[in-house]
Amino acid sequence: MHYASDTVPERMPDCFFYRNLWWNKGEFSEKAKWEEVTLPYVLATDVTIEEYEQRTEKFNIHGCWEWSDGKVIIYELPSMPHEVCISAVSGEISNACRHVRGTPAQIYGFGATRTCDRNRGKKADASFRPVKPAVTAPNGSDGNDFPWPNLVVEVAYSETLDHVEESLRYWLSPGRAHDCIIVKIDPVPQGQVPVRMRAWHYCISAGRGTRNIVPLVNEFEFGTRDDTGAQLNITQGTYIINISSRCLYHDLKQPTPPSPPIQISQNATIPLDFYFVQRAIIQAYNIY
C-alpha cells in the first residue's frame, strides 16, 4: 500500500504532503490547496478493501472517497452546500415517514453505511429502508448477506454529474436499491450562495433500462436560477418527488408495508418537497 508517511521528502510540494494527510491521518487541510485539484483525484493506491473501510470509519468519511480496484479515489470534496443538502433531503424523507415511527413499518435511515461488491466500495450520502430479511450471500450490501437500502440519496457539489450518473448503475443494479434521488448543485466561489440546483428521481419500477440508461421518473430545476441565468421563483409544492410506499417497502417477504397506519398505506405516495431543500441551502448562508 502506498500512502504518505510522516517524513516529507524535500522534493515533494507542501500541498501534496497535506493532501496525503487526509488519507494518512484524516486531516482535511486548507494547505492542501484542494481548490486546485481536478476531480477525480487518486488519494492512495494498493489499498485493500479492509484498509479502506477501516479508514473511512475511523475518519468518518462519507460520500467523498470511493474504493475501486485497490485505489482510493476522491470524487467529492467536503462543502457546506453538500452537507446541508443531504440533511435537508433526509429531513424531508424522515418527516414524510414520521407516521410509521415506532411501528413494524418504520423506515430507518442508514446514512452513509458502506456497501461493496468485488470491485468497488461505495457509500451513499443517505440511504433508507424498513427492516428487511437477509439476502443470499455474497449478494448483500456488505459483500455477505446484509440487505441493500430501498432508497438512496446522492448529492453532488464538486463531484461531476457524469460520475453521479455512473453511480446510478451501481445502486440500481439487479438486487440492490429500488429508488435513487440525485441532486446536483452547481459550485460557486467560496462564500457565495449556490443558485442552480437540479434533482432527478430514478426508480426500477419505471423499467430496468439498459447498462447505460437508467429508469428516470422525474427531473426538475429547483434553484433560484436556471442554466441560462433566468430567475426561478420556487414556492412550496412546486417541485415534489413522490416515492411510492411500494418502493419504500420493496422486497419484503411479508405484506407491504407490514401493519401500517392509514397515513402510509400500500397505495400511498410519500411527497418530498424540494422548496424546503432549496430554502435550507440558502438559509445556511444567513448569519446575524
What are the grid coordinates assigned to 238, written together? 412546486
Residue, of 206 and 158, whose pLDDT is higher: 158
| Per-residue pLDDT tens digits for 15-44 | 999 999 999 999 999 899 998 999 999 999
- Residue 6: pLDDT band (50, 70, 90) is low
Q: Which residues contact 10 (CB under 8 A, 6 or more apart)?
A: none
Judge whether residue 8 has pLDDT over 50. Answer: no
Average pLDDT for residues 249-259, to the nearest whole number? 65
Domains and CATH numbers, the chain: 14-74 (no CATH), 80-283 (3.90.1570)
Are residues 215 and 203 in contact, defined by beta-carbon separation less than 8 angstroms? yes
Cα(first)–Cα(last) distance of the chain, in Å? 48
Residue 261: predicted pLDDT: 44
Q: Which amino acid is at 194?
A: P
Identify the residue whose cell numbers are 439487479.
Answer: 174
Alpha helix stretches (DSSP H) within 42-146: 49-58, 80-96
Average pLDDT, the chain: 87
| Per-residue pLDDT tens digits for 162-210 | 888 888 989 999 999 999 999 999 999 988 999 999 999 999 988 655 5
Are residues 282 and 193 in contact, defined by beta-carbon separation less than 8 angstroms? yes
Edge-first strand listing for the sheet containing 126-129? 108-109, 126-129, 151-156, 179-185, 197-203, 216-221
Judge whether residue 10 has pLDDT over 60. Answer: no
